Amino acid sequence: MGIEGIGARVARKEDKRFITGAGRYVDDMVVPGMKHAAFVRSPHAHADIKKIDVKAAEAMPGVIGVLTGKQLKADGIGNLICGWMIHSKDGSPMKMGAWSPLAVDRVRYVGDAVVVVVAETKGQARDAAEAVEITYKERKSVSDAVEALGKGAPQLHPEADGNLIFDWGIGDAAATDAALKTAAHITRVNIVNNRLVPNAMEPRAALGHYDKAEDHYTCWTTSQNPHVARLVMSAFYNVAPENKLRVIAPDVGGGFGSKIYIYPEEIVCLWASKKTGVPVKWVADRTESFLTDAHGRDHHTTVEMGFDKNNKIVGLKVDTIANLGAYMSLFSSATPTYLYATLLSGQYNIPAIYGNVRTVYTNTAPVDAYRGAGRPEATFVLERTMEIAARELGVSPAELRRSNFVTAFPHQTPVIMCYDAGDYGTSLDAAMKQADYAGFAKRKAAAAKKGKLRGIGMSCYIEACGIAPSAAVGSLGAGVGLWESAEVRVNAVGTIEVLTGSHSHGQGHETTFAQLVNSRFGVPLDSVSIVHGDTDKVQMGMGTYGSRSGAVGMSAIVKALDKVEAKAKKIAAHLLEADEGDIVIENGQLKVAGTDKNVPWFQMALAAYTAHNLPQGMEPGLKETAFYDPSNFTFPAGCYICEVEIDPETGKTDIVQFVAADDFGNIINPMIVEGQVHGGIAQGVGQALLEGAIYDGSGQLLTASYMDYTMPRADDLPSFQISTSNTPCPGNPLGIKGCGEAGAIGSPPAVINAITDALGHENLTMPATPQKVWAALRSGSKH
Amino acid sequence: MYSVNYHRATSVVDAVKKIKTGDAKYLSGGMTLIPAMKTRLAAPSDLVDLNHIADLKGIKVSGKTVTIGAATTHFDVANDEKLMKVCPALCALASHIGDPAVRHRGTIGGSVANNDPAADYPSALLALGATIVTNKRQLAADKFFKGLFETALKDDEIVTAVTFSAPAKAGYAKFPNPASRYAMTGVFVTKGKEGVRAAVTGAGDDGVFRSKEVEAALTKKFEASALEGVSVPSKNLMADLHASPEYRANLVVVMAKRAVMAANA
């Protein structure tokens, strides 16, 4: 490890501009002649649009255009789609309802976009939006997924009878039922996974610019995957063909999944730019973010886990109802299926598993992948169940887990996944030691003397990152491949540009990707630039989500670097009159191994471009491209332990200790990994203690601002004690597993297991607010 | 925010004159009004800023008598050395209002005139038996706070100061709303010449109120132990996402205990 190479705690190159306010976000972009858009949104959860009168709005000062869904349809703009086909158990395809970027005859959730106003200023656009008169006829609405499946629930889409989108199964139902019949003990749990609002620091934004002379569109947008945005907007929404559409995702202030998807607003800004003849910018305000960013989670699940007389798991049966909101967002079907139920084996040997998932339309914001995406839901199901089972069986939660751990690899689970490597016992031991698990009873007694209730809980999670390979996901219904691309350009003086299909929206790629190049060629970090986020600069790529940029994105860079290295060695061998097999790269020089003969990196690069003295037949230049398609998912895993103290008078829970022992495989920059774990745990603790999106009976979002939606703050969190054990991933050249989501996946069950330990019963749902914990202390009933 | 005309008042008389412009509102820190305007929930045509009127600023302590100018910021109340000597509970209360930005902008007059049901100051002034001084008259706190965002203030009436006699003992404890961090229930208790007073903010469905049950218990003995087993009725307490009336009733007693402990500390 060099001081800037793989494994070094290098400060993030990009932070200088971020912390000095010099980042360049979509809202910082200004195009000559640019105007501003405001959307008129539905105030109703479910209603027919009877009449839209735009006359008064059109007459308002500064108004350039007031456009409706009818006009949008007339121009051939397509409906938004879900890009992952799921088939129900009976073989029928999922029932996708139509989602027009601007609603035409019906609105299905509060915030549904109906009309767009373009005006000289943002204020004028808003003023005019208020003057648009829309006559609605309200319909009965439903926001709860279980109710939406019930008799008498209002029907949202004609395509989906009874609001059921699909009824899907995974695993072997008969074998699981048979296994549960033999069980000596069955633990049964009902689990609700609360709905969350992503709350990226930067709200969504789009700037659409149609250039009439070139018949060409440019879209600046807050995207985690600008190439996918271009592909989908071209292929499905008929905005423009790919060669006439450039999508730029500049600095993006957090995504957490919510900026993967293509939303109505970017499509409408592009279309409206052509329609009005001016570049059109829209930036969401915080209320729009709450109402219209794709929400996360929202599952209702029943679990049955059977154990034999030796406390070995014999079978697991899971039945889940997942709320997908009013429309199917881009990857909404994959999240509660292949990203969820495929992880139901956890870290355990489970011979028989069956998972049934029904997805449902409701009059709420669309729900899609949010940090962890299906894996937090699976982990919460399993790790709550394991803890409850241990309490029912009267055995140590740690030992119940340990005795069921998978210990031999590769391990084929009954739910598709084949785990390649792992060492779950090591993480469990590390976490228990760090947490002084053995000393808990003493701490509990000390807390009791102060009038506090102390509890401890753990969670042993596994997740799957770098979702792949493309052929496999294609066979499961994905509309895209899940590879990544890279291009490495060595300039004539030896500096390097890496063009990547990954997209950084906080991850630190500009630093970690450069560290990889430094490790390979000895070029200083300052001489390596990472280019991303622009479809005109970077070849087709798939973007960043699911902790894939290390495992998949960097692997593509490795492949391109391999090619660069091979050519560089050929050139050096030629210059040094040596055999190319004898050339090694060390400290920024290409050397003949075992001698002092060398050519500096920059001289080799110059030779490649002067082309005065290259090997016979070699093309000038030094630039290579690679596409990398992984052979398997990667499987980060770990053990989290949470210790809480509850104030019984108020119900307030304080996390007094939080230990995370993760196995992320090889690590590029430990500091950045720690930052990811800290942020992930903060979000997980947020879900467990604080956050929850609540719709009232009429479909209004009650938690639509920070006055009512509780974000985690620094004083809600302890100092985390984190460590890593690194079992390299055998599936990719760097041995990386991914670390972006683990914190959010592993922490919620650890927190709830700790609180229920303190309470002495299981009757508690997330978020465990002071009011709920106070009430739970008084109820005392069992789950 | 809709467009709005801004006027800086140079004196109370000037402010009263300027408030007659259009649909004008007084601005005294704006920690509630400006966010409401930003989300277009409030739309005054004109703002008359009271924050630059020198007469409205500052804290005077004379013996036990405290007078705080209406345009005095929370930060200045929290850090006033003379006030700290006679009524540290009020300094502590001010030091926990909002965040540093709010404490440097928000003022006691603005808070009192707005009478947000979850604001901290109204409970203190009610428990202190304070007098609210306006450009027209002097009003006892018991008469001033009328209900949710309602006070006895007339349209052009301006709070110029609040004044009270520092009690022998005073303490405040609040349980913040997890999301907004406003008081979900806050209790200010005092023990002075006139006896014990306990005022509750954040909990009443008609705004700040005095708790008879807490006052009765603490009159017997001004100790947290006096509140063991005491309960307050949940009727007339607020219900929202974060707290039921029953939970708030519990918090009234718990916060009262903690306020008494702070007062006796």
Full DSSP string of A617-678: TPPS--EEEEEE--SS-B--EEEEEEEEEEETTTTEEEEEEEEEEEE-BS-S-HHHHHHHHH
- Domain with residue B189: its CATH number is 3.30.390.50
Q: Give the pLDDT score at A43.
A: 98
| CATH class name, domain A483-628 | alpha beta
Q: Before A469, cis peptide (omega within 30)?
A: yes
The correct CATH number of A296-467+632-779 out of 3.40.630.30, 3.30.2310.20, 3.30.365.10, 1.10.3470.10 is 3.30.365.10
Question: Which is nearest to A298 in space by CA: A377, A379, A194?
Answer: A194
Beta strands in A139-244 (DSSP E): 164-171, 185-196, 205-211, 216-221
Number of domains in chain B: 3
> Does the beta-carbon distance from A650 to B178 stay under 8 Å?
no
Residues A414, A350: Cα–Cα separation, whole Å: 8
Summarize the confidence of residues B202-219 as an average pLDDT. Answer: 97
Domain that holds residue B94: 58-165
Quick one: which of A163, A429, A453 has its CA closest to A322? A163
- What residue spans of B56-159 are helical by DSSP H? 74-78, 81-86, 88-95, 100-105, 108-114, 121-127, 141-144
Q: Omega of the bond prior to B178 within 30 degrees of 0, cis?
A: no
- Intra-chain end-to-end CA distance of chain A, in Å: 52
Q: Does A127 sit within 8 Å of B244, measured CB to CB?
A: no
| Cβ partners under 8 Å of residue A488, min gap 6 | A496, A497, A498, A499, A517, A557, A560, A561, A563, A564, A623, A624
- What HEC string does A475-530 produce? HCCECCCCCEEEEEEECCCCCEEEEECCCCCCCCHHHHHHHHHHHHHCCCHHHEEE
Q: B134, B165, B196: which is the final residue of a domain? A: B165
Nearest-angstrom CA–CA distance, A585 and A696: 64
Say which of A126, A694, A769 has its CB closest to residue B178.
A769
Virtual torsion, Cα A732, A733, A737, A741, nearest 10 deg: -90
Residue A365 is predicted with a pLDDT of 98
CA distance B158 to chain A (A): 28
Asked whether A522 and A589 are in contact (CB, 8 A), the reply is yes
Please check whether residues B160 and B218 belong to one and the same domain. no
- Tell me which H or E stretch contains A234: helix A226-235
What would the mean pLDDT of B16-44 be, rounded to a whole number? 93
Say if residues A465 and A737 touch (Cβ distance below 8 Å). Answer: yes
The residues near A330 (Cβ < 8 Å, ≥ 6 apart) are A80, A81, A82, A83, A232, A260, A261, A262, A368
Of B22 and A440, which is predicted with more confidence?
Answer: A440
Cβ atoms B67, B161 nearer than 8 A: yes
Helix (H, G, I), strand (E, B) or coil at A219: strand
Total residue count of chain B as it appears in this document: 265
The pLDDT of residue A782: 46
Candidates A123, A706, A769; nearest CB to B242: A769
The answer to whether the beta carbons of residues B187 and B172 sit under 8 Å apart is yes
Distance CA A720, CA A458 (A): 15
**A-contacting residues in B 170-199 (Cβ below 8 Å):** 175, 178-180
* pLDDT tens digits, one per residue of A188-235: 999 999 999 999 999 999 999 999 999 999 999 999 999 999 999 999
The pair of three-digit structure tokens given for residue B152, joined into one six-digit string: 């006895």
**Chain B residues with beta carbon closer than 8 angstroms to that of A709:** 179
**pLDDT on residue A779:** 87
- Do B133 and B190 sit in the same domain of this protein? no
Burial of A59 (C-beta count, 10 Å sphere; 0-12/13-18/19+): exposed
B residues 126-165 lying closer than 8 A (beta carbon) to A: none
More confident position, A324 or B3: A324
* Residues B211, B244 within the same domain: yes
Contacts of B243 in chain A (CB under 8 A): 771
The amino acid at residue A680 is: G
A650 to chain B, closest Cα gap in Å? 7
| Distance between CA atoms of residues A725 and A667, nearest Å | 10
Q: Which pLDDT does position A781 carry in this prediction?
A: 52
pLDDT at A468: 79
CB-based contact (8 Å) between A391 and chain B? no
Q: How far is A707 from chain B (nearest CA, A)?
A: 4
> What is the pLDDT at residue A695?
98
Domain A296-467+632-779 in the same topology as domain A31-139+201-254+259-292: no
Taking Cα atoms as reference points, which of A736, A540, A725 lies closest to residue A633? A736
Contact B233, B249 (CB under 8 A): yes
Q: Find which of A124, A685, A771, A777 to mutate to test the B interface (most B CBs within 10 Å of its CB).
A: A771
Contacts of A333 (CB under 8 A, 6+ apart): A82, A84, A85, A86, A94, A165, A166, A324, A359, A477
Mean pLDDT of the residues in chain B? 96
pLDDT classification of B156: cutoffs 50, 70, 90:
confident
A287/B242 Cβ within 8 A: no
Partners of B242 on chain A (C-beta within 8 Å) are 708, 769, 771
B241 and A708 within 8 Å at the Cβ level: the answer is: yes
Is ipTM > 0.90 here? yes
Q: Does the beta carbon of A1 lie under 8 angstroms from any beta carbon of chain B?
A: no
Strands A652-663 and A637-647, bridge-based pairing: antiparallel
Contact A126 B39 (CB under 8 A): no
Q: Do B179 and A708 touch (CB under 8 A)?
A: yes
Q: How far apart are CA A690 and CA A770, in angstroms?
A: 9
| Alpha-carbon span B133 to B125, nearest angstrom | 12
Using CA atoms, how far apart are residues B245 and B242, in angstroms rounded to an integer? 10
In chain B, the N- to C-terminal Cα span, in Å, equals 46
A627 at interface of B, judged by CB pairs closer than 8 A: no
Give A401-440 pLDDT, tens digit per residue: 999 999 999 999 999 999 999 999 999 999 999 999 999 9
Question: Does B180 sit within 8 Å of A706, measured CB to CB?
Answer: yes
Q: What is the mean pLDDT of residues B92-109?
A: 97
- Chain B touched by A694 (CB under 8 Å): yes
User: Closest-CA residue in chain B for A693?
Assistant: B241
Task: State the Cα–Cα distance between residues A33 and B187, nearest whole angstrom.
Answer: 56
Beta-carbon separation of B251 and A287 below 8 A: no
Residue A62 with chain B: CB contacts under 8 Å: none
Asked if A717 reaches chain B (Cβ–Cβ under 8 Å), the answer is no
Which ranges of chain A have pLDDT less than 70? 1, 780-783
Q: Which of A654, A652, A742, A747 has its CA nearest to residue A373?
A: A742
Do B192 and B242 fall into the same domain?
yes
Which residue of chain A is at minimal alpha-carbon distance from B228?
A649
Distance of CA A529 to the CA centre of its chain: 25
Residues B66 and B151 occupy one common structural domain = yes
SS3 A429: helix
User: A31-139+201-254+259-292 maps to which CATH number?
Assistant: 3.90.1170.50
Amino acid identity, position B195: G
Instruction: Give CA A355 to chain center in angstroms.
Output: 22
For the CA atoms of A516, A522, A528, A533, what is the dihedral angle to 10 degrees? -20
